[in-house]
């Protein structure tokens, strides 16, 4: 293999085998000294294979003078400096569609787990409390009001599932979506005030930074629950932790956090949160399709063919 690629984070073995057969792969995450690796091989790197949460900074791309493409294993490209890529003629690809159903599944799974306290009930049984004390009564999901912050591909898939539970659905987004019949609510505080459950599935990045703030949480209220399957950056975590501690909201189900995987330790002490290790797309089926799409984009690029899923 003569094309050199830099990988920002690990992919499953089936992708590594294929990538290593086709390219000279440099594993940034395994380097004892990343700067030394970049200094040594950076001048020959023509592609970065990254992951949604790792992205590619301008600082990294600047050190790769022959960089042509950044292929992201993930749909969210908020951690990739797209304006730097655009300005420097670097192509960017992502993995849309293939993960939509799984992320929508985990959103509903987290909603059910949080409201019905499934993890807590599991602990209750394992700790042999059953029969000695009563399991606390929990909160119904079916027929409730679901507020969605975000109505993109994944938002629509979540809404479809929530509708099957007989829930009323209203959504916040930058613009009204004319292809859905759900009620548009351009005011996020008003949406939170209306909703029993607020599910966050907006893209990450500057425009959605901390949009779930103290005002939104206050409006969601003491019976309200927050589900986040987007990015840690969309939530003001200080405000969320305070709201969970003092009962401003009832509970939260979270798949994403700031500083993953070294998340704020206070989350681990809270009984009213259900935690997931950023695993919305983490099924064998979806991860195989994501890896295939990353490999297809790289192969198309180096063959001079149109990219299957370009972002830039
Ligand atoms: C991650 C994601 O990329 O698609 C996204 O935007 O956040 C995820 O699918 C996944 O954890 C792989 O790194």
Q: Does the residue 309 lie in any domain?
A: no
Q: Is the CB of 281 under 6 A from ligand 1?
A: yes
Q: Is the CB of 74 under 6 A from ligand 1?
A: yes
ipTM of the complex: 0.96
Q: How far is the CA of 248 from the centre of ligand 1 (A)?
A: 30
Cis peptide before 261 (omega within 30 of 0): yes
Q: Does the residue 308 lie in any domain?
A: no
**Pairwise CA distance, residues 258 & 236, whole Å:** 9
Q: How many domains does the chain have?
A: 2
How far from chain centre, in Å, is Cα 268? 20
* Shared-domain flag, residues 94 and 131: no
* Weakly modelled stretches of the chain, pLDDT under 70: none
Residue 236 backbone class (left: φ over 0; alpha: ψ -120 to 50; beta: rest) = beta
Q: Is the CB of 291 under 6 A from ligand 1?
A: no
* Site to substitute for ligand 1 among 9, 71, 73, most atoms within 8 A of C-beta: 73
Tens of pLDDT, residue by residue over 201-221, are: 999 999 999 999 999 999 999
174 is catalytic: no
Q: Is the CB of 232 under 6 A from ligand 1?
A: no
DSSP state of 150: -
Q: Which of 224, 165, 236, 233 is nearest to 199 (CA)?
A: 224
How far from chain centre, in Å, is Cα 23? 28
* Shared-domain flag, residues 83 and 196: no
* Shared-domain flag, residues 121 and 184: yes
| Ligand 1, atom 6, residue with closest C-alpha | 76
CATH number at residue 54: 3.40.50.720
Q: Residue with structure tokens 């005002």? A: 215
* Shared-domain flag, residues 91 and 218: no
Output phi, psi for 240, to 5 deg: -65, -45
The pLDDT value given to residue 98: 98
Tens of pLDDT, residue by residue over 97-154, are: 999 999 999 999 999 999 999 999 999 999 999 999 999 999 999 999 999 999 999 9
* Shared-domain flag, residues 74 and 196: no
The ligand 1 atom at the shortest distance from the C-alpha of residue 9 is 13
The pLDDT value given to residue 261: 95
260 is catalytic: yes
* Shared-domain flag, residues 25 and 121: no
Question: What 3-state DSSP class applies to 50?
Answer: strand
The pLDDT value given to residue 1: 77
Q: Is the CB of 278 under 6 A from ligand 1?
A: yes
* Shared-domain flag, residues 124 and 266: yes
DSSP state of 25: E
* Shared-domain flag, residues 24 and 154: no
* Site to substitute for ligand 1 among 7, 10, 12, 51, most atoms within 8 A of C-beta: 51
Q: Is the CB of 287 under 6 A from ligand 1?
A: no
Domain coverage including residue 152:
100-275
Q: Does the residue 299 lie in any domain?
A: yes
Which residues does 100 contact at the CB level (< 8 Å), separation at least 6? 153, 154, 157
Q: 225 - beta bridge partners?
A: 197, 251
* Shared-domain flag, residues 192 and 86: no
Q: Does the residue 198 lie in any domain?
A: yes
* Shared-domain flag, residues 113 and 94: no
């Amino acid at each position: 293999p003569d094309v050199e690629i830099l990988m920002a984070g690990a992919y499953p073995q089936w992708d590594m085998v294929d990538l290593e057969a086709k390219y000279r792969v440099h594993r940034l995450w395994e380097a004892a000294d990343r700067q030394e690796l970049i200094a040594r091989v950076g001048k020959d790197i023509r592609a970065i294979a990254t992951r949604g949460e790792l992205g590619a900074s301008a600082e990294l791309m600047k050190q790769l003078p022959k960089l042509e493409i950044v292929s992201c294993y993930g749909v969210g490209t908020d951690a990739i400096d797209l304006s730097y890529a655009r300005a420097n003629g670097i192509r960017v690809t992502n993995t849309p569609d293939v993960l939509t159903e799984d992320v929508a599944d985990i959103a509903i799974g987290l909603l059910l787990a949080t409201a019905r306290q499934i993890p807590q009930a599991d602990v209750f049984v394992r700790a042999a409390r059953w029969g000695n004390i009563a399991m606390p009564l929990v909160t119904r999901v079916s027929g409730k009001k679901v507020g969605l912050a975000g109505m993109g591909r994944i938002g629509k898939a979540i809404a479809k599932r929530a509708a099957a539970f007989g829930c009323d659905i209203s959504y916040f987004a930058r613009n009204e979506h004319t292809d859905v019949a759900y009620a548009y609510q351009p005011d996020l505080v008003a949406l939170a005030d209306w909703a029993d459950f607020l599910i966050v599935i907006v893209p990450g990045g500057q425009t959605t930074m901390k949009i779930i703030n103290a005002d939104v949480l206050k409006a969601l209220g003491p019976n309200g629950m927050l589900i986040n399957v987007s990015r840690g950056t969309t939530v003001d975590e200080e405000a969320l932790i305070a709201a969970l501690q003092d009962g401003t909201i009832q509970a939260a189900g979270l798949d994403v956090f700031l500083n993953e995987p070294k998340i704020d330790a206070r989350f681990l002490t809270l009984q009213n949160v259900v935690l997931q290790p950023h695993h919305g797309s983490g099924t064998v089926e979806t991860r195989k399709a994501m890896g295939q799409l990353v490999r297809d984009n790289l192969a198309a690029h180096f063959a001079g063919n149109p990219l299957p899923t370009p972002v830039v």
